[in-house]
Structure 1
Amino acid sequence: MSSSGSRWWRTSSEVWINVVSVLLLGQLVSFILAILNFTSSLSANLGANSPVTLGLFGYMALTVVNGSILLYQRHELVNPWYWYALIAFFDVQGNYLFNSAYYFTSITSVALLDCWTVAWVILFTWLFLGTKYSLWQLFGAAICGLGLCLVVLSDVGVGGGGGSNPLLGDILVTGGTIFYALSNVGEEFCVKKNGRFEVLAMIGLFGTIFSVTEITIFERKNLEAVTWSTELILTFVGYTVAFFIFYSLTLLILKKSGSTLFNLSLLTADMWAVVIRIFFYQQQVEWLYYVSFAVVGVGLLIYSKTEKNPNLSQELENGIPNSQYQLVHEQGIN
């Protein structure tokens, strides 16, 4: 094998390895999100109507762990503190609106409207980060959306629909998608400028401050009415652990790829919930779930493997590796 052919093979192999690693990491985060949704639903079933309080302990864990690392390193902030305050505000509101929506509308409606997060992320990264998307990337994102629609179609047959106030619930979900998108884009911008520990510590700190403030205003009476039990406490502990892991891995994906691929990966969270259905509730699973998982997988592969640089293929053919080539083509900071 010639030296140019060897370089082409090595570069192509590295690209595929990176693509697969990011996709697998995205699915791990998606599975953890399914656990978050499960524990949040379980806490509500146990009588704890406290969506902000659930997130409070997760933000505190992020602050303590990552803040301790920053103090040990004597790290000085790279980004202004008010950027982190704004991102944390968006994140807390997104969590609050999403968790509150489940009390007014169906899981089916929440799952369907949740896909708007991807659309908002694409819009915001284009506006604020200057990210450019190819037609193939948009096509891959559309395929992921189609896979989610199959899940929703299956849920309608299983028992979707309903809710005490569907219109209010849908408005809350839509607002939550906007806040989540703004939070993800802000995190992507910050994490690509410096290390993950600073971003996690500062979002955890301001997330804790905003959560305590909102609990004092909105959830104090709800907390007084909660009957605490061992099962409920363990649910809060499980949610906190999953919250910490979810946010820690999220920053890894945002640094390696970007907020668009991250949110596309999260579209499979409802499918991972099938695993929880099978093992915890012994429920039957519709065949559409398996089809939708495969469809979303194809869409993710198309999106993540699409070449943004049209000259890359020619460079590889000539045996000239492009050192500036980025895996997911979302480097929005020019």
Structure 2
Amino acid sequence: MGMNKREIWKLIYMLFLGQIVSFSLAVTSFTSSLIADLGANAPLTQSFFTYLSLSLVYGSILLCRRRNIDKLQVPWYWYVALAFVDIQANFLFVKAYQYSSITSVTLLDSWTIPWVMILTWIVLKTRYSVWQIIAAGICVVGLVLVLFSDAGVSGGGGGSRPLLGDALVIAGTLCYALSNVTEEYCVKKKDRVEVVAMLGVFGVLISVLQISFFEKKSLEEVKWTPIMEQN
């Protein structure tokens, strides 16, 4: 049975949203790589503004929708855990740009796919077809080739320590997978606005704590000029 007109437009809309997300991720990757090349070592600070934006936008929507937000649909400590894991994923990815190339980091980001498939199969009981498993296997083979390629790269366009950067990316993809699977479950079963708002609020709080402990000195060493001098 073919799709009706409404379903076709819905599919087109979803594809359009996916392209917007892809473009946004590409811009973020380019910006993170550029900041790393300019000598700034502040991955937590970069992510802080993302969580601040989420908390301001979705937090405002949540306050307008509810007079009382004391009764969350998901316990607050789960939001703390979700925000913590998400922050570590962003930290590892941004940190990887200091050691590896933007190409390797972007390609290895696909490691999130097999992690997500494994986690959804275990936690959400999702079942995948043989073709989906084969496609994921081909993806993993390609990513392994990227690792072998970086193992033979010394400096230059491959980054100063490409294998370390690749390891940080792979660790980040696991954190992203944990975060994404949790978010998928919550937005489908609970309140999407609450989930995103609380992710932003607790993300801001945890980011501020981590920045004050681990990144304060790095921020003080940054030379804030129109074009930062490399260290």
Compute the TM-score of the two structures, normalised by the length of structure 2. Answer: 0.82
Correspondence for 1:90:
85
Contact 2:86–2:175 (8 Å) recurs in 1: yes
Correspondence for 1:227:
223
CA distance in 2, matches of 1:124, 1:80: 21
> What is the correspondence of 1:39-188 to structure 2 with a 5 Å cutoff?
39-74=31-66, 75=69, 76-141=71-136, 162-188=158-184
Contact 1:97–1:176 (8 Å) recurs in 2: yes
What is the DSSP-based 3-state SS (H/G/I as helix, E as strand, rest coil) of the residue aligned with 1:228?
coil
Q: Does 1:203 align with 2:195?
A: no
Contact 2:83–2:199 (8 Å) recurs in 1: yes
Query: How far does residue 196 in structure 1 lie from its aligned partner after superposition?
Result: 2.2
Structure 1 residues 100 and 215, CA gap change in structure 2 (3 angstroms): same
Correspondence for 1:214:
210
Contact 2:111–2:140 (8 Å) recurs in 1: no
Structure 1 residues 47 and 161, CA gap change in structure 2 (3 angstroms): closer
Supply the AA of the counterpart residue of 2:39.
Answer: G
CA distance in 1, matches of 2:162, 2:226: 33
Correspondence for 1:29:
21
CA distance in 2, matches of 1:73, 1:231: 43
Query: How far does residue 146 in structure 1 lie from its aligned partner after superposition?
Result: 7.9
Contact 2:36–2:98 (8 Å) recurs in 1: no
Structure 1 residues 226 and 162, CA gap change in structure 2 (3 angstroms): same
What is the DSSP-based 3-state SS (H/G/I as helix, E as strand, rest coil) of the residue aligned with 2:198?
helix
Contact 1:106–1:166 (8 Å) recurs in 2: yes
Alignment length (residue pairs): 223
Contact 2:85–2:176 (8 Å) recurs in 1: yes
Give the greater-gyration-radius structure (CA): 1
Query: How far does residue 16 in structure 1 lie from its aligned partner after superposition?
Result: 3.9
Supply the AA of the counterpart residue of 1:18.
Answer: K
What is the DSSP-based 3-state SS (H/G/I as helix, E as strand, rest coil) of the residue aligned with 1:192?
helix
Contact 1:69–1:197 (8 Å) recurs in 2: yes
Query: How far does residue 182 in structure 1 lie from its aligned partner after superposition?
Result: 0.4
Supply the AA of the counterpart residue of 1:37.
Answer: S
Query: How far does residue 138 in structure 1 lie from its aligned partner after superposition?
Result: 3.1
Structure 1 residues 166 and 38, CA gap change in structure 2 (3 angstroms): closer
Contact 1:112–1:152 (8 Å) recurs in 2: no
Q: Higher mean Cα deviation, 71-80 or 169-178?
A: 71-80
Supply the AA of the counterpart residue of 2:122.
Answer: L
Query: Please, what is the CA RMSD of the aligned residues?
Result: 3.1
Q: Higher mean Cα deviation, 137-146 or 52-61?
A: 137-146
Query: How far does residue 23 in structure 1 lie from its aligned partner after superposition?
Result: 2.4
Percent identity of paired positions between Structure 1 and Structure 2: 54
Query: How far does residue 140 in structure 1 lie from its aligned partner after superposition?
Result: 4.7
Structure 2 unaligned spans of 5+:
none
CA distance in 1, matches of 2:87, 2:5: 40
Supply the AA of the counterpart residue of 1:41.
Answer: S
CA distance in 1, matches of 2:210, 2:227: 25
Contact 2:45–2:211 (8 Å) recurs in 1: yes
Q: Higher mean Cα deviation, 186-195 or 107-116?
A: 107-116
Q: Higher mean Cα deviation, 30-39 or 16-25?
A: 16-25
Deviations 1:19-58 (A, max 9, x none): 3332222121011100111222222333321111011122
CA distance in 1, matches of 2:90, 2:25: 12
Query: How far does residue 148 in structure 1 lie from its aligned partner after superposition?
Result: 7.8
Structure 1 unaligned spans of 5+:
1-7, 233-334
CA distance in 2, matches of 1:45, 1:164: 11
Correspondence for 2:189:
193
